Structure 1
């Protein structure tokens, strides 16, 4: 289609031709010669002014020899799958050898059939454009831009020179094109072109376009895929295959026709190819979309911090957005996909259950909570800083406008105010889940939240929440490792401790005359017994045990830690729990194996950080695995068996915090440790009941669904089919005890169950008179 510029120029030339025809021949001859000489002189001066940089600097040959282009940094999963990019322009370079011949043929046939015959400027094409397009108005005669001219434009862009923009930019590009031709071979120019040309959706370079639209590499592009991408070069948006598939197919077929016309494609192959549909596997690497967005967000922070300590060969700092680095991670691509699917399935159902259970009593509907939340918004603070009165600010925040609000299963534009939006998002539960290899700490999947676009906060590493009963195994580990018999029976009765603290059990109906050994107490997550065991083994010993297992050093020095009042991240808990599946050695979560520059040279490499010394004995480790297997088989995590029918060898621990604010589940298999948290980001909003908020209901199902998906996929057999070793005879004897005992008549008679017993120091609980008498005659072991 003719541009407005060419139409005006054509009109002026024709008017001038009419005037010249009316001038007498002798006068016309002299006038024509004068005009031509003046024109040549003017254009000569004009050309030289551009050549010498009066219209802007033109890159010299030395600069052209060292072309530097911004290149996207790529993030790879453990098997080399591309999972993300960090970039200003989405571009990855490829070598000429990686370009399929049919891709090169498609470009030559469509964009510059005389490419191998000119030196950057195709004079014949330019003459055709001038006479046919400009003078004769033939819009089908084509353009005169060569591949080299297009490369010059791709590399250095165009500037605004007003009415002279097209002329000045064309001349600049012609000068640069000739210089490029004098420096680079035709193959190198083709390679440079494919590495810099812009494709649809803000994509630069053939490799990025191949991965984005077809999820393949350049070297594996089919004929139809290559022709589709080359076809978009005419107008990248207009022929975008994602937005306009039919239009893109028509353009692709034009490319195929050109290839057949110029002998690059046999007629039969052309006829077959043109009938094929465009089948895309679109991969859009954005901060919010794609696989593992929370992981990639955290990874970017970590890599930036690492790069700040390094310099390249020229002594300059690396740039994550420009230098085309390659970041290799431990993420298992397929497991990450399944983990995100499991999270979505579970959280969709849990959110519905959560809202239904709260009903009209929902805390996010309370005016006081909403006002407090609004006062924390950037909009409120900005207006407050500007001097607005509170009432006026609130009025402003209640004005409605069109906005998109997230919800499970739908995203739609509605009329809502900022206040409506804040109230809407207050109700959402969130989740953090990590899966790692216990022997190394290698992170296999990382789900930091329910939707990165709407909830940026990462719940794997950033968030620290009370861990609830998931800390109880540490208490029992310290006790067993200190020599306390796991078959020691403890009463479930409440006891008051110094300071008036009287921990209670979540089940108010539990029989106060029951006595449980440690395996039963842990599997049922009995609070009163966990505290008694802590007092028996000693607070300092429990803290020391936690330190050996790699827990954070800031655990508060209070007996309440037995019930999980310490705050930790999901990642912290996972690394420490790895010790149970790794012979007592905790493994710090790690997820970067190496970072390479764009040439493949290793910049920095990372190895697993596993504790050198075990945190507990092998016997203690076996005891704890057996106790946590009991939690799964018949305790608080039993729904893994009866509801989800998981046959795998699994040890685990559920956790629920005060007022049902946090739900936790830790799943341990021989080759995988999984930690899941679920709850509200607003600490004022908890689950409406323990039935919904307990870790077995709020967190465990995400793990269960993931394991079901992995069980159905043979590639995870090494994880799903792994079995814990059989416990030693010694461990079997240590655990050979009745699951419970009940006080007999005399014990009940001499024990006042209604009055808590006061307890201090580091000894066991106070016992009734009958227990004391019985202890005198008890045989020594």
Structure 2
């Protein structure tokens, strides 16, 4: 009986052994077949060898300043790749310690973790390696929630991970993973995340900052530093514990870093945020044309949103920041005064216009609005659209104290925004034509019209130097020549004028004999009119065109007083010709364009031409220096409080170096200008409301010397304090064989000892906080 039982037991063992090996054989075969079918694409397309070489990803075009700072991007996905060597070691080590401790030991699949996860039925996660996570990110995203599909997806991840390991080094895989991960808030890839959350390059991240970003790999939506600081702190400390476990940091470091608060320098990297927003939009429009004219080798157009171009610009990031700070500082305070002056105006912010004119302005604004466009596309009638502008709705509106949530009708919001003073500033290096700073308005998010390259405005007295330059060139005059300031009339028919024209001085005074230098310093209208009468307006227009002004200029004597609309960009370029010894250099804003591999696609050729001989250009510079020595720009020479009869007190500039410049104010003080020059930098500033009928009531605040000059002064003060910028304080270069008399000693003595009444009323500006 025992023998029979033993025989049965042996048979059972052989039977089950046979069953086991059969099961093992078929299971193994099925698994191999399953893997083969997956790799052949039976369960969906698998990436080819070429796909692995060039994984599809939208690469942002990067906009880089002249000092090497990324100032913006064009993108569908905000992704800018970074090389492994540009990643700080502690960031890499933190990732490996947290996500895949045996990363450098396995070949794409960590067998130990995978087996452990299988035993626990995935309760502690899927045990994915960094290579598997990269495979998922690159080729098929998050996948399906159905279990069978999830198994298929996991198998595909394994296969792709193994291929990635064969094709790339470990360091390349690490870099790719950092480059493709979505960190939320428009930040795809570690470089975008570093810039978005901490406003720095990855190489500058501290250990705790690196731990925060590595912690986000678990779930960037859940561990979002902006929305969930406590959760992010907890997750960061988990990463720090992993770093301690892997002996990357010490116990004392871990304890110290764990106690740190979450400290962000959060700046969204969107098209409407960051610095140089107006310039970036101007550049975008330029690039749209550029890609049509500069094709890829295969004849296709470049895509500025996905091809990863690098656009190296002439903008200096520090100078740009100083320019934006200057506009913000002055405009914020000037706006307060504007609101005060509009309190009793029933038709605010419009002054001296009829109801019909007001209705026309408001109707045009409605028709140009996004609301009108959208409703028109929905086939709404004009009556319905107009009615919608009188319905109160929730909205966010701009204010200098931050965004305001309010309930307001769209029509009221239009009138509200009409109150805001706008500004345009451009700064140019005259020798190269390189644009160094560009501020097209006060806030691109709310006011997208560009007042540098897009909006031409009446230039007022800033046009007068073109008249004086023509007189010096055509009539052989010098800054020291004298002319009579007296009543003057150009009669009908002369220079094609249609009626007698008798210009008046702004202060209604006449000074008798004055030098040209004093006449320009005081912006005397009769002198400008007499000069253009002698040269003829045709000669002035001709010179202005040679100076790069593209606007239509009427050929009539009244242009001598600035009844001409010109952009800030053109005015700054024209003035730069005087600073550059009579050579006009067309403004440039691009240094070169490269593709994603660093191949140079475009380098502009400087466009320059001789306009004036250097003696005449220098003579104009000396004329313009008179404006800041004794004219409406004299406030640039003072600093701090004054005493006694000193009427120019309270200005914080105190410049002692040579400055050439000119203020300008248009009719009814709708436009205020100041263009100032030092030898290696020319900067123009315009200030005014969007509509000319929205303005200050008096010239006190609407004049260029009060509205625009302080922006220039604040900007230059910041530039001089920034020693990296090397903005010149030297005199303008004097031609060695100067043939024009420019040193008007007797006239200068008179100017320096006389309290003058310049073109615009001088106003103490202490209340502006500048």
State whether residues 663 and 709 of structure 2, in contact with CA within 8 Å, keep that contact through their aligned partners in structure 1.
yes
Report the CA distance between 1:352 and its aligned residue: 1.9
Residues 1:694 and 2:700 are matched in the alignment: no
Deviations 1:685-730 (A, max 9, x none): 34322222221122111101112223333334x4252223569695
Q: Which of 20, 44, 55 is the aligned partner of 1:67?
A: 55
Shifted more, 92-101 versus 561-570: the winner is 92-101
Q: Which of residues 261, 267, 276 in structure 1 aligns to 2:245?
A: 261
Partner of 1:682: 691
Q: Which residue of 1 aligns with 2:524?
A: 526
1:405 aligns with 2:397: yes
From 484, 487, 491, give the equivalent of 1:490. Answer: 484
How has the CA–CA distance of structure 1 residues 372 and 267 changed in structure 2, closer, same or farther, with 3 Å as cutoff?
Answer: closer
CA distance in 1, matches of 2:629, 2:332: 27
| Residue of structure 2 aligned with 1:206, choices 190, 200, 211 | 190
1:587 is displaced (CA, Å) by 2.0
Q: What SS is found at the alignment partner of 2:674?
A: strand
Rate the CA distance shift 1:732–1:561 in 2: closer, same or farther, 3 A: closer
Q: Give the aligned length.
A: 705
Which residue of 2 is the match for residue 570 of structure 1? 568
Match of residue 595, structure 1, among 571, 593, 596 = 593
Of residues 734, 741, 747, the one that matches 1:731 is 741
- Answering whether residue 84 of structure 2 is matched by residue 96 of structure 1, we say yes
Deviation, 1:448, is 0.7
CA distance in 2, matches of 1:204, 1:738: 62
Partner of residue 124, structure 1: 112
Any unmatched runs of 5+ in structure 1?
A: 1-27, 742-781
Give the one of 601, 613, 628 matched to 1:617: 613
Q: Residues 715 and 151 of structure 1: is their aligned pair in 2 closer, same or farther, counting only changes over 3 Å?
A: closer
Residue 436 of structure 2, aligned match among 435, 444, 447: 444
Q: Distance in 2 between matches of 1:108 and 1:515?
A: 83
Structure 1 SS opposite 2:532? helix
SS at match of 1:495: coil
Q: Does 1:704 align with 2:700?
A: no
CA 1:590/1:444 → structure 2, altered by over 3 Å: closer, same or farther? same
- Cα distance, 1:311 vs structure 2: 3.5
1:647 alignment partner, one of 656, 665, 670 = 656
Structure-2 change in CA distance of 1:544 and 1:218 (3 Å):
same
Contact 1:471/1:563 (8 A) holds in 2: yes
* Counterpart Cα distance in 2 of 1:503 and 1:409: 47
Checking the alignment, whether the CA contact within 8 Å between 1:661 and 1:680 is kept in structure 2 is yes
Aligned to 1:19: none
Question: Whole-Å Cα distance in 1 between the matches of residues 377 and 257 of structure 2?
Answer: 64
Q: Do the aligned partners of residues 283 and 418 (structure 1) sit closer, same or farther apart at CA in structure 2, a change above 3 Å counting?
A: closer
Task: Decide whether the 8 Å contact of 1:516 with 1:740 is kept in 2.
Answer: no
CA apart distance, 1:508: 5.0
Q: Does 1:170 align with 2:190?
A: no
Looking at structure 1, the residues matched to 371 and 256 of structure 2 have their Cα atoms a distance apart, in angstroms, of: 59
Deviations 1:434-477 (A, max 9, x none): 11111111111111100000011111111112222111111111
Residue 139 (structure 2) aligns with: 156
User: Structure 1 CA distance, aligned partners of 2:615 and 2:505?
Assistant: 31
| Aligned counterparts of 2:85 and 2:743: Cα–Cα separation in 1 | 67
Return the alpha-carbon distance in structure 2 between the equivalents of residues 508 and 647 of structure 1: 28
Cα 1:222–1:491 shift into 2, 3 Å: closer
CA–CA distance in structure 1, aligned partners of residues 35 and 419 of structure 2: 67
For structure 2, the residue ranges without an aligned partner over 5 or more in a row are: 1-15, 493-497, 638-647, 752-770
Secondary structure of 2:453's aligned partner: coil
**TM-aligned CA deviation for residue 581 of structure 1:** 1.0
Q: 1:131: Cα distance to partner?
A: 2.5
1:105 maps onto 2:114 in alignment: no
Q: 1:434 maps to what in 2?
A: 426
Matched residues in 2 for 1:417 and 1:66: separation? 52
Alignment correspondent of 1:771: none
Instruction: Between 385-394 and 74-83, report the one with greater CA deviation.
Output: 385-394
Distance 1:381 1:253 in 2: 50
Does residue 1:228 correspond to 2:212, yes or no?
Answer: yes
Match of 1:560 in 2: 558
Does 2:368 align with 1:360? no
In structure 2, the CA distance between the partners of 1:403 and 1:395, relative to structure 1 (3 Å rule), is same
Bigger drift between 211-220 and 721-730 goes to 721-730
For the residue of structure 2 that corresponds to 1:212, the secondary structure is: helix
CA deviation vs aligned residue, 1:548-600 (integer Å, no higher than 9, x gap)? 32332732222222122222111111111011111111222112111122232
Alignment deviations for residues 460-510 of structure 1 (CA, whole Å, 9 cap, x no partner): 111112222111111111111221354232333141431214243352532
Aligned match of 1:584: 582
Structure 2 SS opposite 1:622: helix
Q: How does 1:187-586 map to 2 (within 5 A)?
A: 187-361=171-345, 362-364=347-349, 368=359, 369-380=361-372, 383=375, 392-482=384-474, 483-484=476-477, 486=479, 487-498=481-492, 499-505=498-504, 507=506, 509-511=508-510, 514-552=512-550, 554-586=552-584
Q: Give the root-mean-square deviation of aligned CA atoms.
A: 3.2
Quote the Cα distance in structure 1 between the aligned partners of 2:734 and 2:141. 72
Q: Which residue of the partner structure matches residue 128 of structure 2?
A: 145
Report the alpha carbon displacement of residue 268 of structure 1 after superposing the two structures with TM.
4.3
Cα displacement (A) at 1:605: 1.5
- The residue aligned with 2:41 is 53
Task: Give TM-score, length-normalised by structure 2.
Answer: 0.84
1:651–1:669 CA contact under 8 A, matched in 2 = yes
Q: Distance in 2 between matches of 1:652 and 1:262?
A: 64
User: Pick from 638, 659, 663: which aligns with 2:668?
Assistant: 659
Residue 339 of structure 1: how far off its partner (Å): 0.9
State which drifts further: 568-577 or 176-185. 176-185
Residues 519 and 630, structure 1, Cα contact 8 Å, conserved in 2:
yes
Partner-residue secondary structure (3-state), 1:497: coil
1:12 counterpart residue number = none
- Structure 2 distance, partners of 1:558, 1:685, is 28
- Which shows bigger deviation, 627-636 or 299-308? 299-308
Residue 184 (1) aligns with residue 168 (2) = yes
- Kept after mapping to 2: 8 A contact 1:436/1:445: yes
The answer as to whether partners of 1:154 and 1:198 remain within 8 angstroms in 2 is no
Q: How far, CA to CA, are the matches of 2:298 and 2:234 in structure 1?
A: 48
Between the aligned partners of 2:307 and 2:364, the Cα distance in structure 1 is 45
Q: What is the alpha-carbon distance in structure 1 between the residues aligned to residue 477 and residue 248 of structure 2? A: 82
Q: What secondary structure, in the 3-state scheme, does the structure 1 residue paired with 2:63 have? A: strand
| Greater mean alpha carbon deviation, residues 48-57 or residues 233-242 | 48-57
SS of residue in 1 equivalent to 2:73: strand
Label 1:621 to 1:64 Cα distance change in 2 as closer, same or farther (>3 A): closer
Could you tell which deviates more after superposition, 591-600 or 219-228? 219-228
Distance 2:553 2:387 in 1: 44
Is the Cα contact below 8 Å between 1:594 and 1:602 reproduced in 2? Answer: yes
